[in-house]
Each structure stands twice: as structure tokens, then as C-alpha cells.
């Protein structure tokens, strides 16, 4: 892995500075709750943030602690998270996740991860059922305050258009390349700002390139401008 800076692009700091000027500088405040981040990630699959948030609130109202959730009948979990869609599948995934955490950690308290290094934490998390590189990176970044750069659909699209990763690079590979290129202290801001940019200007359909502060260094954007 590189890895080196992509040719002809802005530096990570310049990207963060220009997007921060547009969207505001993101503040990194890890919340410290690994299990919450893992469960939220399952609930967020194939639905909107609003729906997964509602499903999580209902789940926590019904099962205030992880032990009661662990002991619950899958049908009860399914009922609690129905608002988030795919509730039967997600209930099964949550039960499987809790069972694996209990088996591997000996409890549902994952605080011990704070005492491990990022490489060990990533490997431990990716050993859980249904936890891939993006989920592990989300847990590290948002819960544990460790450097990691999750590549979701927005980060992936913007990185490809800017030429930060080679054409057709799949998300997991793009994550590894970007994590190597972006300094760890910028991972959070870079991730959050590329998502904001992907939602507001660098949209999947008809991106608003003429308003984009990165246009001068964006091969995709420049190719869409009149000669």
C-alpha cells in the first residue's frame, strides 16, 4: 500500500482546509461506547440515518442494557427495531454479534479495547461476525478516538472523482490507501468533510462542480466544465 500522495492532487490538509471553510471545521468527540457503535452500524444497513436512529432509540427503550438485549427473544428485538427495516435480519445479526462478543471478550464490556493499539483493535473488531473494514473503522474513529478513515459511499465517490485513488478502486482498498495517505490527526475531519461534500455538492447525480472549492484540482470536475 502506498503509499504515496496521488499525483496532481491537493494535500490532505488543503482538502480539509478548503472544505472546512465551506462546511465548518468538524470537532472530533469520540463517545466511548463501542457496543453502541457496533449495534448502530447493524441498524444503519440499508436505511436512512433517521430511521436507524429511531430504531436504536426504541431498542434502548425496550432493552436498557446489553445483558437484557442478549437475553431477549429475537422476535422482541425484531419488534423493537421494525422502524429501521430488515428487522428480522438485523435482529439476528445483533444477537449473533452479542454472542460472539461475550464468547471472545468474556463480557459485553469492550472497554479493554482502549488499552490496545489500533492494529490490534482493528483485527479484534474485524473478527466479529458482520464487521468489515468500514464498520471497524467507524468504531475506532467514533467510539474509541483512534485514527481510521471509514470509506462509505460518499467518501468513495468523492475520492474517486478527485483522483485520490485509482479509477475503480473498491471501497476497502480505497480505505487502506486513504488511511495511508491522510495523516492520522486528519482522519476524522477528512472523513466527515468528504461525507458532507458528497451530500451537498459532490452528489452522485449532477454534482455542483462550479460551486466546488476543489474544482481546480479535480479531474472529474474539470472534465465537465466548458472548454
| Residues in touch with ligand SF4 (CB under 6 A) | 158, 161-162, 201-202, 207, 209, 212, 214-215, 218, 220-221
Determine the residue with CB nearest ligand SF4: 221
Cα dihedral 191, 193, 196, 199 sign: negative
Contacts 24+ apart (CB under 8 A), 210-216: 213/18, 213/19, 213/21, 213/22, 214/10, 214/15, 214/18, 214/19, 214/162
Query: Could you confirm whether 134 is annotated as catalytic?
Result: yes
Least gap, CB of 155 to ligand SF4 (angstroms): 12
Identify which of residues 149 and 158 has a Cβ nearer to ligand SF4 in the complex. Answer: 158
Identify which of residues 35 and 159 has a Cβ nearer to ligand SF4 in the complex. Answer: 159
d(CA 188, CA 154): 15
- In 3D space, the residue among 84, 78, 85 whose CA is nearest the CA of residue 62 turns out to be 78
Q: Which DSSP string do the residues of 39-96 spell out, in sequence order?
A: HHHHHTTTS-HHHHHHHHHHHHHH--SHHHHHHS-HHHHHHHTGGGS-HHHHHHHHHH
Identify which of residues 81 and 209 has a Cβ nearer to ligand SF4 in the complex. Answer: 209
Least gap, CB of 165 to ligand SF4 (angstroms): 13
Least gap, CB of 33 to ligand SF4 (angstroms): 33
Least gap, CB of 21 to ligand SF4 (angstroms): 14
Identify which of residues 133 and 221 has a Cβ nearer to ligand SF4 in the complex. Answer: 221
Q: Are 159 and 199 in contact (CB under 8 A)?
A: no
Give CA angle at 108 (107, 114), nearest 5°.
95
What are the residue numbers of the active site?
Answer: 134
Amino acid at each position: 500500500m502506498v503509499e504515496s500522495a496521488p499525483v496532481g492532487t491537493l494535500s490532505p490538509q488543503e482538502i480539509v482546509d478548503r472544505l472546512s471553510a465551506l462546511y465548518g471545521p468538524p470537532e472530533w468527540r469520540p463517545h466511548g461506547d463501542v457496543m453502541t457503535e457496533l449495534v448502530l452500524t447493524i441498524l444503519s444497513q440499508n436505511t436512512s440515518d433517521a430511521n436507524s436512529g429511531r430504531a436504536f432509540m426504541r431498542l434502548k427503550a425496550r432493552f436498557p442494557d446489553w445483558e437484557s438485549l442478549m437475553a431477549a427473544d429475537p422476535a422482541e428485538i425484531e419488534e423493537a427495531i421494525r422502524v429501521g427495516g430488515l428487522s428480522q435480519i438485523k435482529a439476528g445479526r445483533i444477537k449473533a454479534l452479542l454472542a460472539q462478543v461475550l464468547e471472545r471478550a468474556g463480557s459485553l464490556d469492550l472497554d479493554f479495547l482502549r488499552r490496545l493499539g489500533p492494529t490490534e483493535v482493528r483485527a479484534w473488531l474485524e473478527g466479529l461476525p458482520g464487521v468489515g473494514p468500514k464498520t471497524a473503522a467507524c468504531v475506532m474513529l467514533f467510539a474509541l478516538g483512534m485514527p481510521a478513515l471509514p470509506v462509505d459511499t460518499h467518501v468513495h465517490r468523492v475520492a474517486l472523482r478527485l483522483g485520490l485513488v485509482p479509477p475503480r478502486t473498491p471501497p476497502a482498498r480505497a480505505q487502506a490507501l486513504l488511511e495511508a495517505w491522510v495523516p492520522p490527526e486528519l482522519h476524522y475531519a477528512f472523513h466527515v468533510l468528504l461525507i458532507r461534500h458528497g451530500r451537498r455538492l459532490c452528489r452522485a447525480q449532477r454534482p455542483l462542480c462550479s460551486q466546488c472549492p476543489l474544482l481546480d484540482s479535480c479531474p472529474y470536475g474539470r472534465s465537465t466544465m466548458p472548454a
